[in-house]
Homo-oligomer: A and B are copies of this chain.
């Protein structure tokens, strides 16, 4: 099959690109390299079935040309940083909502009928039900990131209904693994490289979060795309466990052999719009036969190994 992967030079996008190529598919990768890294595509670029298009998801013309003739678009390009939304309030709207509309419109113009979308557990805002199922009560958004992804989901569902497309929407917990390049493991590791005896934590360290290893995430996405039948299918993707920020600190410092003094900014939330508890009910994807092969602890350890082996990733792009 012929796939287009938007955000092909990103963390999840580049891993997906490699996987699709390994599975025998043709892949058109689309990225503007604003946060993506060419180094993540080193394997893909050696591949005959891969074609790279340097383009912006805000450019409908380029996008329409890129998706022409594809069977499936995996739309992973995004502003993936939940934390700094209020510093640049238009970024999430543009990168996650308008960009998703552009992808859908490019598909409609090119007659491409299938889409997979990387959404987020943040669309549940601060849920009342744990683990949170896909049909949780209609959420009230608490972050610009969550709002912009919820909007992207809504557009996909409307396009699927209106134009006889088929879509799978994946609500990720935080993803870990090789090529991980932002998030708390990254921040903590960077701090500990700078000053091994000291670690500063946003919030009170009691925030409960859930994580999933990137290869487990890809297994789930591809299985769901294969098996889903409805016009729009929504899947939570996560492990059946969660950990506290303090658990995570214990694993990270343990692996590094450090015992830093930990200070806390305080408060239940790491920042405005941070959800103090993320734990998704993943029974729907498990019913299709999927189960994660890695625990959260293993995912964090692999992430840390990746960061240790790739010090260049810590430099600001």
A interface residue numbers (CB < 8 A to B):
85-86, 89-90, 93, 97-98, 101, 104-105, 108, 124-125, 134-144, 146-148, 150-151, 153-155, 157-159, 161-163, 232, 234, 272-273
Task: Determine the chain B residues whose CB is within 8 A of the CB of A163 once the complex forms.
Answer: 86
With A98-B98, A140-B232, A142-B157 as known contacts, state yes or no: A150 contacts B147, CB within 8 Å.
no
Pair A147/B154 contact, Cβ less than 8 Å: yes
**Complex alpha-carbon distance, A105 and B92, angstroms:** 13
Copies of the chain in the assembly:
2
Measured CB to CB, the closest approach of chain B to A74, in angstroms, equals: 20
Query: What DSSP secondary structure best describes chain A's contact surface?
Result: helix
B residues near A104, Cβ cutoff 8 Å: 89
Closest CB pairs A-B (n = 8): A151-B151, A147-B154, A147-B158, A135-B137, A141-B157, A86-B162, A141-B154, A144-B158
A101/B108 contact (C-beta < 8 A), A142-B157, A151-B150, A158-B142 known: no
What are the residues of chain B within 8 A of A93 when measuring CB–CB? 98, 101, 155
18 inter-chain pairs at a CB distance below 8 angstroms, sorted by A residue, are A85-B158, A85-B162, A89-B104, A89-B105, A89-B108, A89-B162, A93-B155, A125-B157, A137-B138, A138-B138, A142-B158, A143-B158, A147-B151, A147-B154, A147-B157, A147-B158, A150-B151, A158-B273
